[in-house]
Amino acid sequence: MNPRRSGHALTTRLAALFALLCFALLAALGVFLYRELEQQLTLRDDAALINRVEQIRALLQDENTMELVRAKPALFANMLGNREALLVLRFAGQAPLIEVNPGAMPIPELAPLPPQAPLTLAAVRHTVDANGVPFIALAASARSEDPRRPLQIIAGRAMSERTHMLAQYRERILLSAAAGALLAALAALALVRRSLRPLGELARQTGHIGISNLAARLDGAGAPRELALLVDAFNAMLERLANGFTRLSQVSADMAHDLRTPIANLLGQTEVALSQPRSSDYYETLLASNHEELQRLARMTDNMLFLARADNADNAIACASLPLHDELLRQADYFEGPAEERGLRIAIAIGGDSGADTGAAIQAEDGGAGAAAGAGAAATNPASVWADPMLLRRALANLLANAVRHADAGSTITLSAQVDAAGARLTVCNHGATIAPEHLARLFDRFYRADPARQDSAESSGLGLSIVRTVMALHHGRCEAGSEAGLTRFTLRFPPRVG
């Protein structure tokens, strides 16, 4: 599915939300003003009705006015001035003296206020007629010639004109709010499109980045500050991808090169063997040679699988407190045979200098004595390291195998360990050819060889030191290499235990 069709565009949604917000605000403002206007009109109409009744009540205090009421009631009709007004003058229980009702409105039944009672807004009665039009009315009494018979005044008015005016006002409020929201939407659409133009430019730049130009980076010039973090994060991601792709390409090329040698050997030897009949001794020798090549392929495959799993792991390793002397003694025992073949001596030093030949020693010619010395030293060296047992042993084994392979015959390989507030430091030191400084930084890269001419394809896969670096990364530690004056050191630095 095209992501552009899976939902509305961001600009459209922002413009619609802005328009909706503007409509709500304008409508709320219109409703507020409408209520205020309606209240003011109601107060004005109520006051006008009270004023009219007070005027009539004052006129009726004059005896001549009563004569006019009987003689010329039309004068009072002219006082009302429109067809929405109602006026009734009557004595209680008698027919009206004056009834002005051009709209034929029903006369409300109201209890009139006493002649001396003041007229207030609270006395005005609000109702709605049969057509739904608001109607206001007020009843009051006025003194007459006979104090026992006050004259009743009933005045009222239908608010149809006001209702019509308010309806028009409501319509204008809605139209104004809708027009304002539409204008706001158009303005928001233009502003959002303008504001998102840098994002479109970044998208265009991103679309041109591929495998062929991973070195390209996004240009954040002119982009708003809000996008600066995105540009920096994306460029950092491109840097990681470029580095990873470069490493992957180098690993693939190196792996293809390393696999080609044993495979070529297997094919060449097999083709020679099949070219003519051979003796059984020849075939045994051939199978032994092929077995060595197949072992190297198996080790290389196993190492590559380990590195692949470590690169994709979530760093959840099973760490424990491991006695350093026991771990170093275990490795020395394991490599006693290969060391003896080259006349090498393996020494263990706990808490001493990495180059010193102190502590428990395991000699090729006397493994039992070395083990006993190691046991005695273990009792007095409680130093430990917080690490995963299997990963620690694999890293130490790779370093010790590398030292046995490259140490000068008859020399001593020293395994040393120190523990302080900064953590544990394990060092493998051997005497041999000095490694040039330009090679030290890359020794832990996959398939990297400081001296390819000395590399024996039957013994090394070129991944041992890379596995060491991966193991240390899983422990949040680091590995270091140093070589000078014929002395080469590989150091593993483990951080202290937390918690």
pLDDT tens digits, one per residue of 416-458: 999 988 899 999 999 999 888 888 877 887 666 665 544 444 4
> 121-149: per-residue pLDDT in tens?
998 999 988 788 898 999 998 887 677 77
Question: Is beta strand 423-431 parallel, antiparallel or unpaired with respect to 412-420?
Answer: antiparallel
Percentage of the chain modeled with pLDDT above 70: 79
Helix (H) or strand (E) holding 71: helix 63-71
Interatomic CA distance for residues 62 and 68, integer angstroms: 10
Read off the pLDDT of each residue in 456-483 and give the average, rounded to a whole number: 78
> 362-377: per-residue pLDDT in tens?
443 344 334 334 444 4
Q: Are 76 and 88 in contact (CB under 8 A)?
A: no
Interatomic CA distance for residues 103 and 83, integer angstroms: 6
Residue 253 CB neighbours (<10 A): 11
Q: Which CATH class for the 225-309 domain?
A: mainly alpha
Residue recorded with tokens 């004005």: 44
The residue that leads in pLDDT, 75 or 422, is 422
Residue 48 CB neighbours (<10 A): 12
Q: Are 13 and 189 in contact (CB under 8 A)?
A: no
Q: What is the pLDDT of residue 348?
A: 92
| Whole-model pTM over 0.85 | no
- Average pLDDT taken over every residue of the chain: 79
Q: What is the pLDDT of residue 194?
A: 81
Interatomic CA distance for residues 3 and 361, integer angstroms: 68
Write out the two tokens for 226: 């809000």
Read off the pLDDT of each residue in 265-279 and give the average, rounded to a whole number: 86
Write out the two tokens for 288: 């032994």
Instruction: Return the domain boundaries, the chain.
Output: 10-167, 225-309, 317-494
Read off the pLDDT of each residue in 154-177 and give the average, rounded to a whole number: 89
Helix (H) or strand (E) holding 30: helix 10-59
Interatomic CA distance for residues 49 and 53, integer angstroms: 6
Q: What is the pLDDT of residue 76?
A: 59
Enumerate the β-bridge partners of residue 416: 349, 427
Q: Are 191 and 21 in contact (CB under 8 A)?
A: no
Q: What is the pLDDT of residue 255?
A: 66
Interatomic CA distance for residues 430 and 488, integer angstroms: 6
The CATH architecture annotation of domain 317-494 reads 2-Layer Sandwich (3.30)
